[in-house]
Structure 1
């Protein structure tokens, strides 16, 4: 007897539809919620428009330090995590250029208790001076440790090459500016920008037994309405483009490379076209940059590119790490691939890969509360419509080869780019000057954010 059954015939994939959020106004705050029946874990996020881009120059890094200090809870000395663990809950806090996001992930049947603890930590933290100073020292030391790694060092130098003002300094403020942020500055920032502002609450999970209005009252209390955030394009950095910055790492056997340029803001860019083009160039394993630099030339284990989009601006960057002698040839290869994409466009196979990679996997991408909450946070921060994910999927489904070719010509501009090399200056400066891409400047790492 043949017990083997024929494999079922696969049908066409069903287009993914993002769940429709529910909106509530409670007091001076807004709630955006998605009910996911049967989802046992919930994600709660509170969004404040107190991102790093709003920080004055004498308080750079205050948002990052406050985000760290909130974890000390209402009793100080890292008291929040153990309190949440009793409810099976986990704390999160993240500062971005455009937002200050705090939150908790908890079992759905513990949402109320976990949210109460979470809100105490957000609205009425201890912020003991000793705790804040300790967190500041940890943040400074972490910055130094992270920038001792060449790719991180190169990436954090991008802002100073493309922007003046706040974006020229990393989000955490850098070690020098961060040391100037006192406990009093943190307390003032928290009082004005977090405790006194209602914000927007995102709630995702099985909400069948959750009273959202009661939850909103617990979270918002009598906090003031969330203020509008002005959006104005940041100023460009001084100096001519294109250019090359070498961050000297004597005796380094490898170079970390970044090629970066400014791009339109999140609201100005055509995302399916831009990200589809980026996928073809360096966003997928089968991308042109990876095929050229990894597979054909053997210069690197991997290379990638992406957009970093903000409310008032954006960055497009390519990054990789190569052996020192191949530094200049790798940049040449990058520029050649960019020019070929700009001149010739994409192939039918590349177009099909872009469509598939950005549509077929959406049910998995948004399969849990945390990922759904992440999408809602993006919608709130960037003023996107409820059907943003569906619009994005539809955009990828109808995208054409001409669209991707147009995006390459619109969004890729090597003449407006900077190349950053974290490597041995004595070995790479000569070949980089011979490359003729732009003026070559050498800096020591410790001088970048002094």
Structure 2
């Protein structure tokens, strides 16, 4: 499903892709999956869109957590003429990672996450945010003290399982913001539902 937010004459398109699966009890598997897929500069999606194809200056993915729900998203900004190309490459990477990750990718992701972890507590604001998050999400009292061990204990098989749990290219919501006339030309023959919304999110009939 595509949702198009019209901004006439906008030279770039903003892309956000939301798989619909929810996140429950596999936080560390999800963290490693995201790091490999789109959570850092050397991630698959960024290397594809930025380095190989030059569609964007950067593309990222993230898990967004709330009290009673969570979702995964991929987002980027690209030249409007490359909107469909960028979407197709993101969909390719989402599908490709379900075929499995490499040992080297997993080890690099673990190293990156665990080395960055102490930087999460450099300021009073970060400490407050971390502690309040532990309470809000009902995390175990030893969540932070065991964080590094929990990251390092995740296996490649568990990350692969998480990829197949979270990612389903047949159940995506794709939000495109930009010049409608130029975007529609690129996606109208893809055989999926397209909804146009105004600046306030109201569906245009």
Q: Structure 2 length as normaliser, TM-score?
A: 0.93
Match of 2:136 among 381, 384, 391: 381
Kept in 2, the 8 Å contact 1:289–1:304? The answer is: yes
Kept in 1, the 8 Å contact 2:15–2:77? The answer is: yes
Map of 1:401 onto structure 2: 156
Map of 1:356 onto structure 2: 111
Match of 1:441 among 190, 195, 198: 195
Kept in 1, the 8 Å contact 2:15–2:75? The answer is: yes
- Residues of 1 paired with 2:131 and 2:91: CA distance? 37
Classify the secondary structure of the residue corresponding to 2:105: helix
Query: What's the offset of the Cα at 1:447?
Result: 4.9
Map of 1:251 onto structure 2: 9
Map of 2:26 onto structure 1: 270
- Residues of 1 paired with 2:124 and 2:9: CA distance? 47
Query: What's the offset of the Cα at 1:354?
Result: 1.2
Kindly indicate whether residue 97 of structure 2 is the aligned counterpart of residue 334 of structure 1: no
Kept in 2, the 8 Å contact 1:259–1:420? The answer is: yes
Map of 1:422 onto structure 2: 177
Unaligned runs of 5+ in 2: none
Match of 1:290 among 6, 25, 46: 46
Kept in 1, the 8 Å contact 2:98–2:163? The answer is: yes
Classify the secondary structure of the residue corresponding to 1:263: coil
Kept in 2, the 8 Å contact 1:271–1:392? The answer is: no
Map of 2:101 onto structure 1: 346
- Residues of 2 paired with 1:370 and 1:329: CA distance? 40
Kindly indicate whether residue 55 of structure 2 is the aligned counterpart of residue 321 of structure 1: no
Kept in 2, the 8 Å contact 1:355–1:397? The answer is: yes
Kept in 1, the 8 Å contact 2:19–2:166? The answer is: no
Kindly indicate whether residue 121 of structure 2 is the aligned counterpart of residue 366 of structure 1: yes
Query: What's the offset of the Cα at 1:410?
Result: 0.6
- Residues of 2 paired with 1:384 and 1:446: CA distance? 36
- Residues of 2 paired with 1:372 and 1:248: CA distance? 40
Map of 1:13 onto structure 2: none
- Residues of 1 paired with 2:130 and 2:149: CA distance? 16
- Residues of 2 paired with 1:446 and 1:386: CA distance? 41
Structure of greater relative contact order (alpha carbons < 8 Å, 6+ residues apart): 2
Query: What's the offset of the Cα at 1:412?
Result: 1.1
Map of 1:208 onto structure 2: none
Residues 38-437 of structure 1: matches in 2 within 5 Å? Answer: 243-265=1-23, 268-343=24-99, 345-436=100-191
Superposed CA offset, 1:236-266 (max 9, x none)? xxxxxxx00111111111100000133325x
Classify the secondary structure of the residue corresponding to 1:420: strand
Classify the secondary structure of the residue corresponding to 2:64: strand
Q: Structure 1 length as normaliser, TM-score?
A: 0.44
Classify the secondary structure of the residue corresponding to 1:338: helix
Relative to structure 1, the CA distance from residue 430 to residue 384 in structure 2 (aligned partners, 3 Å threshold; closer, same or farther) is same
- Residues of 2 paired with 1:271 and 1:447: CA distance? 31
Aligned residues: 204
Superposed CA offset, 1:109-153 (max 9, x none)? xxxxxxxxxxxxxxxxxxxxxxxxxxxxxxxxxxxxxxxxxxxxx
- Residues of 2 paired with 1:282 and 1:435: CA distance? 25
Aligned-pair Cα RMSD in Å: 1.7
- Residues of 2 paired with 1:399 and 1:271: CA distance? 10
Higher gyration radius (CA): 1
- Residues of 2 paired with 1:411 and 1:367: CA distance? 32
